[in-house]
Structure 1
Amino acid sequence: MIGVTPPAYDPAAPESATILPVGTPATVRGYVRVLLRRHRGAFWLLLAVNTGAVLASMVGPYLLGGLVQDVSSGAQELHVGRTVALFAVALAVQTVLVREVRLRGAVLGERMLADLREDFLVRSVGLPPGVLERAGTGDLLSRITTDIDRLSSAMREAVPQLSIGVVWVGLLLGALTVTAPELGLAVLIALPGLLIACRWYFRRAPGAYRSEAAGYAAVAAALTETVDAGRTIEAHRLGDRRVALSEQRIQEWVGWERYTLWLRTVLFPAVNGTYTVITGSVLMLGGVFVLEGWMTVGQLTTGALLAQMLVEPVGMILRWYDELQIAQVSLARLVGVREIEPDVGDGAVEPDGREVAADQVRFGYQAGSDVLHEVSLRVAPGTRVALVGPSGAGKSTLGRLLAGIYAPRTGEVTLGGARLAEMPAERVRRHVALVNQEHHVFTGSLRDNLLLARTTARDAELWSALAAVDADGWARGLDAGLDTEVGSGGLALTPAQAQQIALARLVLADPHTLVLDEATSLLDPRAARHLERSLARVLEGRTVVAIAHRLHTAHDADVIAVVADGRINELGSHAELVAADGAYAALWRSWQQ
């Protein structure tokens, strides 16, 4: 049965969907050691209580073995009442200790799970923004939901139960060796078959479970992207293609699910067969040894009961170890973010000035396919630069490079002569801020949403920031003012209001350089124009790089860069470019019509 060929599958397809790294075994082991060090007191106490419970459980076999020996030797007085009383006391102690083991194991698991959630969240929000953007929502969502769910039972039960099972088996084997050493041969008879089955299974299970998890991440990514871009898919009639992709991903995932199930159908019968071999060997060998006079009937009785007691802890170890194979994959996916350096810089670089410059920059999202080609641009302090051009020309990509979100493949982007790629992300954010088309309203009060930009801001500063983006009118009209709950479960804000909150955060953050990637795209043209005029007072004296399709933004800029096919084709003021009668002039004439 071990030679059965696994079902057909494509191993590359599911795993290719994972963009964030999966932790190496060394990383996983290191993190497990960290968790155990944090909770070593509770862990050792759990093992101590479990040891007491196991010792109490072995009182019964010894009492029964002694009683059988007394009967076989023809003892006149059996002391049955004393034996029953001792057994009742041992059973009561075992019951109390087992309850403590389960309670302490569950509490320990919950605490470790809480640590894992917190560590993952803290590490994730500290990752470079470019890494998070490339990862997409599907992979991140599957890790924080599905992988955490898979780990929850392992943390609550598998780790404590596995530790309990190991202690249990060790004590039982020790007791069996002391009581009837000859019966150890019965265990050795069954051991080779168990080791062969386990080795066969555990050589295949980790990779299969890893591919199963990656397959689910691919399903989540495909479905999430389809839902998020539903209108675009409908407009371009891509529904059939997205359905086909989802079905393909689901089929690959189901294939891995079936494969892991098939692995278990091989392992579990082999383990059950081992139990039968152990019990049969103990009885047959023990019977021969008793007939030969090598052991007493009482030793055989106690040894047989101890050997039978091995069934439960061995099954517990294998069952929870199998559970840990799934958990190990999920844990590797969660701790994989620890292998990403949160900051690419060493923290020693400090800008000497405010000039932002790109010099011979090349950049691509995929190897061998550049989006930007030899782009050079200098933005003097206090200058307003507008990046215009057709969709897909590379405007947003250039803006993200200037904001320090991405690092160029070749060339360099500098701020005050210092390379942004060599600066820690936190330092970059103090100087340069990016506001793109996306906006987020977090669950909590309006005040909490604004304080994300500057935690020390007072209410007067919050109202001033809202006024700067013309949001104080509707904000003051709220029943609870800044204490109004917004986001999921609270007040539903319009897209324009949510974008105003994002821009108010920008005012509070107070960076000297701003990259606005169509920051007013969700407002109607009149409201957007009004908001941009209000922002002009706030942006006075700051360096601004604005990316927009609305050419009135370009008209107000000091310098206009026309981006096409990943290159800057024209550079100059509005009047200069209109006079040049090039691509920008054509765009301006079409905009005016």
Structure 2
Amino acid sequence: MTAAIGAPLPPYDPAAAENATTLPVGGPATVRAYVAELLRRHRRAFVTLVLVNSVAVLSSMVGPYLLGGLVEDLSAGSRDLQLGRVVGLFVFALAIQTFFVREVRLRGAMLGEEMLADLREDFLVRSVALPPGVLERAGTGDLLSRITTDIDRLANAMREAVPQLSIGVVWTALLVGALTATAPPLALAVLLALPVLLIGSRWYYRRAPRAYRSEAAGYAAVAGALAETVDAGRTVEAHQLGARRIALSERRIAEWTAWERYTLWLRSVLFPVVNVTNVLLTSAVLLLGGAFVLRGWMDVGQLTTGALLSQMLFEPVGLILRWYDELQVAQVSLGRLVGVREIESDSGEESLAPEGRELVAEDVRFGYRAGTDVLHGVTLRVPRGTRVALVGPSGAGKSTLGRLLAGIYAPRTGHVSLSGAELSRMPAERVRRHVALVNQEHHVFVGTLRDNLLLARTDADDAELWAALGAVDAGTWARALRDGLDTEVGSGGLSVTPAQAQQIALARLVLADPHTLVLDEATSLLDPRAARHLERSLARVLQGRTVVAIAHRLHTAHDADVIAVVEDGRISELGGHDALVEADGAYAALWRSWHG
């Protein structure tokens, strides 16, 4: 996609923008509702800003009125001009204006910062509350671009655009009102210039939101391509994919910069229209005013005051257009941030709670893309206390089935339930109290060791934290730390080994105490010695719990109560190890292959 300045790009394609991101973009109704909510939260500060701005604008009108009076007195031949009183009033009005302009700037900046803080907090809280499957499918590029680029774009709008736009609207309304009250015939000049401004603005604002939306989606695509390349750097190097990844990045950048040029071209049309409007307004005021004075319909003082007030209109109108243009960018970023509101949350039915511990998947079908299922009519029953192993070739659907059983994803059709309570209809926090997924991914958050453990249960005391560490064989190295539980870990703190990081994750699991665990080879990324040590720790955690183990290595499946063989998204065999080996089916072939 290329475009020279002055040549418009093809019309915005909503489907293309939607395909560029996983998380939705909030529609106009969602954005308006959120802005109205923000204003309600800060209505007192907003009303105060409007009142302070009104005083500042009214005090700025004193000068034109005084000058108009002086001109009228001079034209009438008056010798008693009372310059001292006029100058005194002007200086007093100027002092008031200076004070309230400062207040306007200060209160506007404070209001903007408060609204920006609310926006950041709302986005974070809402994102954390999203269904886990949504966040997992969103990927890093789109999510990071919203948290970073869109927040940065909104920062200027929240700090400046919203307060300044409010100031400009109040300023313009008061000036037009004053012009109409002082010299009603000159209000015709505004009516002559207004159509030019409206036509130009309508042309611009019909195109700008779509263009800015495509521009933002293009940047998200750039960020996604770069993030993916960095994350998979070793793979790119090993398979000599560098040239292909560079070409992809260059294409994404070219598409993004093409939309950047297009939005620049739109602005290059709007700004001359604004300048023409200003010239037309001034010319109309002087020509009409001169004609009205000659006919005796108004005096010279009214013309002087009206001309000065019309000149004062340039600044607030320019302010409105400038910051409204800024809001076009901000509106797109705001739509991307509040778009998460259009995703159904895991609010679930608060009254829905499992009465037992039997995990059941019934005729489950699921796909990551519409029209393409990964699982096809899978039915599996896991009684309380049972250890089930899911085995099968790579890509068969084992991990996908495990995530459905853990409540990460919701099936397209069918049901995954815990003793009759569907996991997809329960809040995520309630699901996690009963079922937890343990995989190769483990994360140590920046903070103290205590903070990392309290994530699982905020009311746990130190004795319970030490007991959880001891249960996973982490007590020895943890007690050897200089500050114990108060030791800073994570980035910038103590660097823990992968095995220690996994032990911290398992200690959280002990504190959370779910009765059912879904294991996706939690130790497969560790070296053999650390893996064996951690498997002993894991065995203690698993005692007395229902376990669904996704077995990429068959020694995990050997000791399971039940083995489910997953092939092509279906369970082809189900039974114990000895029975499946004797059956000489798919599992027996896998077992022979694994043993050589």
What is the TM-score of this pair, normalised by structure 2? 0.96
What is the identity percentage for the equivalent residue pairs of Structure 1 and Structure 2?
Answer: 78
Distance in structure 2 (CA, Å) of the matches to 1:152 and 1:551: 53
Deviations 1:282-306 (A, max 9, x none): 1122112222222111111111000
Higher mean Cα deviation, 236-245 or 324-333?
236-245
- Which residue does 1:450 correspond to in 2? 453
Equivalent residues of 1:371, 1:394 under 8 A apart: yes
State the match for 2:505 in structure 1. 502
- Separation of aligned partners in 2, 1:30 and 1:550: 52
Asked whether 1:376 is paired with 2:359, we answer: no
The CA deviation at 1:361 is 1.5
What is the rounded CA distance, in whole Å, between the counterparts of 1:34 and 1:13 in structure 2? 30
Query: 2:108 matched to 1:105?
Result: yes
C-alpha distance in 1 between matches for 2:186 and 2:202: 25
Q: 2:438 aligns with which of 431, 435, 438?
A: 435
Letter in 2 for 1:462: L
Q: Which amino acid aligns with 2:9?
A: P
Conserved in 2, the CA contact under 8 Å of 1:13 and 1:252? no
Unaligned runs of 5+ in 2: none
Residue 213 (str. 1) matches residue 216 (str. 2): yes
Structure 1 residue aligned with 2:409: 406
Q: Displacement, 1:477?
A: 2.2
Of 474, 479, 486, 2:477 maps to 474
Residue 347 of structure 1 aligns with an amino acid whose one-letter code is E
Match of 1:166 in 2: 169
Distance 1:493 1:9, change over 3 A: farther
* Distance in 1 between residues matched to 2:221 and 2:467, nearest whole Å: 45
**Structure 1 Cα separation of the partners of residues 276 and 301 of structure 2:** 27
State the AA in 1 paired with 2:494. L
Partner of 1:302: 305
CA distance in 2, matches of 1:475, 1:239: 43
**Please, what is the CA RMSD of the aligned residues?**
1.7
What CA distance in whole angstroms lies between the structure 1 residues aligned with 2:534 and 2:181? 85
**1:285 equivalenced with 2:264 (yes/no):** no
CA–CA distance in 2 between the matches of 1:409 and 1:127? 18
1:178-327 paired onto structure 2 within 5 Å:
178-327=181-330
| Correspondent of 1:341 among 317, 322, 344 | 344
CA distance in 1, matches of 2:107, 2:299: 40
- The question of 1:118 aligning with 2:121 is answered yes
Given that 1:344 and 1:421 are in contact with CA atoms closer than 8 Å, whether structure 2 keeps it comes out as no
**Contact 1:290–1:296 at 8 Å: present in 2 too?**
yes
Report the CA distance between 1:190 and its aligned residue.
0.7
| SS of residue paired to 1:118 | helix
Is residue 139 of structure 2 the alignment partner of residue 136 of structure 1? yes
CA positional deviation for 1:242: 2.3
Letter of the structure 2 residue corresponding to residue 194 of structure 1: L
The match for 1:547 is 550
Separation in 2, partners of 1:532, 1:562: 23
Of 9, 14, 17, the match for 1:7: 9
CA distance in 2, matches of 1:402, 1:527: 28
1:419 corresponds to: 422
Spell out, residue by residue over 1:67-94, the C-alpha distance to the aligned partner (whole angstroms, 9 max, x if none). Answer: 1111111111222222112111111110
Q: Per-residue deviation at 1:530?
A: 2.4
Q: How many residues align?
A: 591
Q: Counterpart in 1 of 2:400? A: 397
Q: Is the 8 A contact 1:388 1:561 kept in 2?
A: yes
Query: What SS does the corresponding residue of 2:139 show, helix, strand or coil?
Result: helix
- Correspondent of 1:461 among 464, 472, 475: 464
Question: Aligned equivalents of 1:582 and 1:415: distance in 2?
Answer: 31
Shift of 1:584: 2.7
Asked whether the equivalents of residues 14 and 212 of structure 1 are also in contact (C-alpha less than 8 Å), the reply is no
Measured in 2, the distance between the counterparts of 1:215 and 1:489 equals 34
Contact kept, 8 Å, 2:23 with 2:142, in 1: the verdict is yes
Partners of 1:358 and 1:415 in 2: CA distance: 9
User: What corresponds to 2:45 in structure 1?
Assistant: 42
1:112–1:155 Cα contact (<8 Å) kept: yes
Instruction: Tell me, yes or no, if structure 1 residue 562 matches structure 2 residue 559.
Output: no
Q: Deviations over 1:43-85 (max 9, x none)?
A: 1111110000001100010111111111111111222222112
Match of 2:525 in 1: 522
Q: Which is further off, 469-478 or 87-96?
A: 469-478
Q: Which shifted more, 361-370 or 53-62?
A: 361-370
State how far apart, in whole Å, the 2-side matches of 1:241 and 1:500 are. 39
Counterpart Cα distance in 2 of 1:55 and 1:231: 66
Bigger shift: residues 496-505 or 331-340: 496-505
Match of residue 583, structure 2, among 561, 580, 584: 580
Q: Which amino acid aligns with 1:109?
A: G
Deviations 1:313-339 (A, max 9, x none): 000011011111111111111111111
Is there any run of 5+ residues in structure 1 with no aligned partner, and where? none
> Whole-Å Cα distance in 2 between the matches of residues 237 and 573 of structure 1?
44
Matching residue's letter, 2:319: M
